[in-house]
């Protein structure tokens, strides 16, 4: 698709500085874009790279066009504007409605209009699939699942029984929603299974990354609210609740019955203990370990940043000596008192 800068500027609410009739057909990075591509710069700190770019046009913050040697589109928020422009130039492929002959669909399932069901899909009894849903090849939809309007399941997604998925949600390959939570009880030295009788409720406009797993509730449901964005390979335990418009980066693990508020941002590799509460507006940097509730919005961190191995070993030795050092300080304090 090829669009003029005027068309793009109108869509992203920007102002063209240069040739408004200039056309671009795709997006590219500042360093690699050619004259047929649109790029962007969101951080003014890197403005020195603007005059080195060969992009046909660059989206920049208002007042930054003076540093661009090609065409520019000035906007209030370059990254948001770029996201919208990229969606315009690279629209999502529309799947044609239809049911592949290899799909296995129980007669009791209710299928809406303009639904696309791919090869080798399994849909069990009493499933409800609303209009314009796309179900990719190899998906398994167990009994009593509800999938709301215009949701898109990529290949090999598994929705276990009773799960509910909201509208316009995107679920990437390999996701499993509604498998049993990790519920076990110790019976005289033997672990016995605790039945997981809850389900999972996913809201509207949610996106769930590849190979993420969301366990069903032990009794009450696991709940992912509207607008939540989950990266790849996240584990969400039973009875977890995640508030509206929170975002979680990859390889994070959230233990059961933890509650996360609205508009939280959780960095990759974060670990959360179970049965804790995270207030709305909390930001956790990557690799944080959260063992207790956080009751106030703010930015929180834990862990030790990387450093040269030699220095790290020295610091570990010092850490192991802290107990003895503490005792010595206490002894000195006692002597000082005397």
Q: Which domain holds residue 13?
A: 3-89
Do 18 and 129 fall within a single domain?
no
Domain count, the chain: 3
What pLDDT score does 307 carry? 93
Do 175 and 253 fall within a single domain?
yes
Do 35 and 77 fall within a single domain?
yes
Give the C-alpha distances (Å, rounded to integers) separating 11 from 56, 64, 81, 88, 108.
Answer: 18, 20, 9, 8, 44
What pLDDT score does 338 carry? 66
**Residue 241: φ, ψ to 5°:** -125, 135
In degrees, rounded to 5, the angle at the alpha carbon of residue 194 between the alpha carbons of residues 192 and 199 is: 155
Do 42 and 116 fall within a single domain?
no
Catalytic residue, chosen from 238, 245, 275, 313, is: 238
Q: What pTM did the predictor assign?
A: 0.92
In a domain, 34, yes or no: yes
Number of residues written out for the chain? 338
Do 273 and 212 fall within a single domain?
yes
Q: Which residue has the tokens 């959230």?
A: 254
Do 136 and 257 fall within a single domain?
yes
Strand order in the sheet with 15-17: 15-17, 71-75, 57-61, 37-40, 26-27
In a domain, 146, yes or no: yes
72 close to 55: Cβ distance less than 8 angstroms: no
What pLDDT score does 128 carry? 99
Active site residue 54: no
Last residue of a domain, one of 89, 124, 146: 89
Q: How many CA atoms lie within 13 A of 134 on its CB side?
A: 18
User: Can you list the positions of beta strands (E) in 25-155?
Assistant: 26-27, 37-40, 57-61, 71-75, 98-99, 104-105, 110-111, 116-117, 122-123, 128-129, 134-135, 140-141, 146-147, 152-153
CATH number at residue 83: 3.40.1390.10
Do 258 and 316 fall within a single domain?
no
Q: Give pLDDT tens digits along the chain (338 positions).
A: 899 999 999 999 999 999 999 999 999 999 999 999 999 999 999 999 999 999 999 999 999 999 999 999 999 999 999 999 999 999 988 899 999 999 999 999 999 999 999 999 999 999 999 999 999 999 999 999 999 999 999 999 999 999 999 999 999 999 999 999 999 999 999 999 999 999 999 999 999 999 999 999 999 999 999 999 999 999 999 999 999 999 999 999 999 999 999 999 999 999 999 999 999 999 999 999 999 999 999 999 998 889 999 999 999 999 899 999 999 999 998 888 76
Dist CA 308 CA 302 (whole Å): 19
In a domain, 258, yes or no: yes
Do 128 and 63 fall within a single domain?
no
Do 261 and 316 fall within a single domain?
no
Q: Which residues contact 228 (CB under 8 A, 6 or more apart)?
A: 203, 206, 207, 242, 243, 244, 245, 246, 247, 248
Do 206 and 284 fall within a single domain?
yes
Tokens (6 digits) for 63: 């007042």
Give the C-alpha distances (Å, rounded to integers) separating 258 from 123, 294, 315.
Answer: 31, 11, 33
Return the biggest CA–CA distance within the chain. 91
What pLDDT score does 94 carry? 87
Do 275 and 167 fall within a single domain?
yes
Do 157 and 223 fall within a single domain?
yes
99 close to 113: Cβ distance less than 8 angstroms: no
Last residue of a domain, one of 89, 114, 143: 89
16 close to 6: Cβ distance less than 8 angstroms: yes
Dist CA 239 CA 328 (whole Å): 47
CATH number at residue 194: 2.160.10.10
What pLDDT score does 334 carry? 87
């Amino acid at each position: 698709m090829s669009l003029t800068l005027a068309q793009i500027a109108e869509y992203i609410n920007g102002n063209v500085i240069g040739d408004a009739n200039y056309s671009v057909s795709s997006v590219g990075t500042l360093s690699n874009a050619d004259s047929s591509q649109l790029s962007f710069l969101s951080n003014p700190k890197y403005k020195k790279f603007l005059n080195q770019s060969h992009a046909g046009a660059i989206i920049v913050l208002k007042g930054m066009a003076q540093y661009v040697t090609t065409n520019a589109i000035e906007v209030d928020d370059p990254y948001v504007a770029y996201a919208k422009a990229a969606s315009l130039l690279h629209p999502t492929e529309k799947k044609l409605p239809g049911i592949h002959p290899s799909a296995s669909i129980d007669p009791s399932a209710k299928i809406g209009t303009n639904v696309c069901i791919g090869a080798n899909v399994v849909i069990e009894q009493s499933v409800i699939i609303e209009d314009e849903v796309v179900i990719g090849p190899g998906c398994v939809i167990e009994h009593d699942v509800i999938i709301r309007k215009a949701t898109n399941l990529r290949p090999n997604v598994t929705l276990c029984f009773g799960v509910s998925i909201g509208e316009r949600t995107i679920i990437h390959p390999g996701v499993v929603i509604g498998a049993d939570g990790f519920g076990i009880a110790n019976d005289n030295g033997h672990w016995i299974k605790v039945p997981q009788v809850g389900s999972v409720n996913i809201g509207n406009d949610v996106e769930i990354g590849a190979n993420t797993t969301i366990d069903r509730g032990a009794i009450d449901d696991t709940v992912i609210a509207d607008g939540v964005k989950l990266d790849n390979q996240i584990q969400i335990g039973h009875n977890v609740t995640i508030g509206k418009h929170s975002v979680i980066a990859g390889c994070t693990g959230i233990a059961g019955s933890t509650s996360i508020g609205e508009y939280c941002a959780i960095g990759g590799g974060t670990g959360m203990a179970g049965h804790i509460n995270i207030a709305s507006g909390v930001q956790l940097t990557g690799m944080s370990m959260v063992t207790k509730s956080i009751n106030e919005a703010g930015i929180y961190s834990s862990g030790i940043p990387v450093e040269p191995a030699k220095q790290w070993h020295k610091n570990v030795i010092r850490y192991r000596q802290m107990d003895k050092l503490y005792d010595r300080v206490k002894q000195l304090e006692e002597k000082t008192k005397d």
